[in-house]
Amino acid sequence: MLGKPEPVIVQVEINSENDKAQALAERLSLPLIEASSPWLANSIRLRYQDAVLYALSVDPAGAEMAVKADFQQVLSTRRRQQAQGELLIKAVQGRQRQPLFILDATAGMAVDSMVMAAMGHKVLALEQSSVVYEVVQDGLQRAAHAGISLLPDLHQAEAVAWLTINAEQMFDVIYLDPMFAESSKRALPRKNMQLLRRLTEAQTGSETLWSLAKTRARLRVVVKRPLKGGPLAGSPDYSIKGQRIRFDIYQSN
């Protein structure tokens, strides 16, 4: 029987951007360490470098893996990788052409939130990990300073709890992107997904969130799934498939 995974240790590095580091450590109640301190087992560090917040860990070989939220890069990459973005927008928009009010209930690094916002939709994004939230919010602030105006509104909250507290709030579309289960037969996921898996605390059951989302979406609930994975819950009304992923669409009654 497998035991519970060891808790992740999160630390904040002190460097030339000490004021930002200290403020971050106070907000999250995290310890401050020197950049030269040895890495602890199962640890993640937050580091400000050149006014950018990074989350870092080390791979088994001892090499650092660094992740930041770069929404200017997201928009640039989307221009080169139109297919998946178009599938996402087709799944979310359906036949509607007017801007929609969308809840991204499992934002993660908020890449899909950014794509939906860039298409003119009003996007409220929820991320339950306070560490991921800080990294993404740092990227959103830099994007705003760079003149990007179409940005998601990010909140640090667990989706089921947020929807329960805000019981009267309705959305046109609710978007769910639960992290795919890992498989020992596949290569390690890209570094931002490795860090996300380590940083994200125990999630409320995805089916619980799906059931609640169904009652709060006027038009549809959209769930991102691996191409060959089973549905999150129930049978979708239809699916839009790409090469590696698909979007399951559950129409509201």
Residue 2 forms part of a structural domain: no
> By C-alpha distance, which of 185, 186, 174 is closest to 248?
174
pLDDT band at 63 (very low <50, low <70, confident <90, very high): confident
d(CA 22, CA 48): 11
The answer on pLDDT for 190 being more than 60 is no
Q: What's the rounded mean pLDDT across residues 183-210?
A: 58
Range with the poorest average pLDDT among 33-37, 122-126, 187-191, 237-241:
187-191
Residue 1 forms part of a structural domain: no
> How far from 238 is each of 85, 102, 235, 244, 246, CA to CA, in Å?
18, 19, 8, 17, 10
Tell me the three state secondary structure of residue 124. strand
* Listed residues 20, 47, 67: the one ending a domain: 67
Q: 136 and 26 in one domain? A: no
* Listed residues 67, 83, 101: the one ending a domain: 67
d(CA 212, CA 209): 5
Q: 246 and 126 in one domain? A: yes
Q: 145 and 241 in one domain? A: yes
Contact between 7 and 42 (Cβ < 8 Å): yes
The answer on pLDDT for 187 being more than 70 is no
What pLDDT, on a 0 to 100 scale, did the predictor assign at position 60? 78
pLDDT band at 202 (very low <50, low <70, confident <90, very high): very low
What pLDDT, on a 0 to 100 scale, did the predictor assign at position 137? 97
Between strands 52-58 and 64-67, the pairing is antiparallel
**Placement of tokens 């989302």 in the chain:** 213
Average pLDDT, the chain: 85
Q: What's the rounded mean pLDDT across residues 21-40?
A: 94
d(CA 13, CA 33): 5
Q: 49 and 155 in one domain? A: no
User: Crossing angle for the helix pair 130-145 and 71-80, nearest 10 degrees?
Assistant: 80
Q: What's the rounded mean pLDDT across residues 205-231?
A: 91
pLDDT band at 216 (very low <50, low <70, confident <90, very high): very high
In tens, the pLDDT along 110-147 reads 999 999 999 899 999 999 999 999 999 999 999 999 99
The answer on pLDDT for 221 being more than 50 is yes
Residue 91 forms part of a structural domain: yes
pTM above 0.95, yes or no: no
What pLDDT, on a 0 to 100 scale, did the predictor assign at position 15? 84
The answer on pLDDT for 85 being more than 80 is no
In tens, the pLDDT along 145-185 reads 999 999 999 999 999 999 999 999 999 999 999 865 444 33
Tell me the three state secondary structure of residue 30. coil
Q: 47 and 166 in one domain? A: no
d(CA 50, CA 168): 42
Residue 15 forms part of a structural domain: yes
DSSP string, 136-176: HHHHHHHHHHTT-----EEEE--HHHHHHHTTT--EEEEEE
What pLDDT, on a 0 to 100 scale, did the predictor assign at position 73? 76
Phi-psi region of 55 (alpha: psi -120 to 50; beta: other; left: phi over 0): beta
Q: 89 and 17 in one domain? A: no
Tell me the three state secondary structure of residue 219. strand
The answer on pLDDT for 224 being more than 80 is yes
Q: Which long-range contacts (CB under 8 A, 24 or more apart) does 38-44 make?
A: 40/9, 40/11, 41/6, 42/6, 42/7, 42/8, 42/9, 42/198, 43/8, 43/9, 43/10, 43/11, 44/8, 44/9, 44/10, 44/11, 44/131, 44/195, 44/198, 44/199
Q: Domain span at residue 39?
A: 9-67
Q: 76 and 125 in one domain? A: yes
Q: Which is higher by pLDDT, 47 or 191?
A: 47
* Number of domain units in the chain: 2
Range with the poorest average pLDDT among 35-49, 100-114, 192-206:
192-206
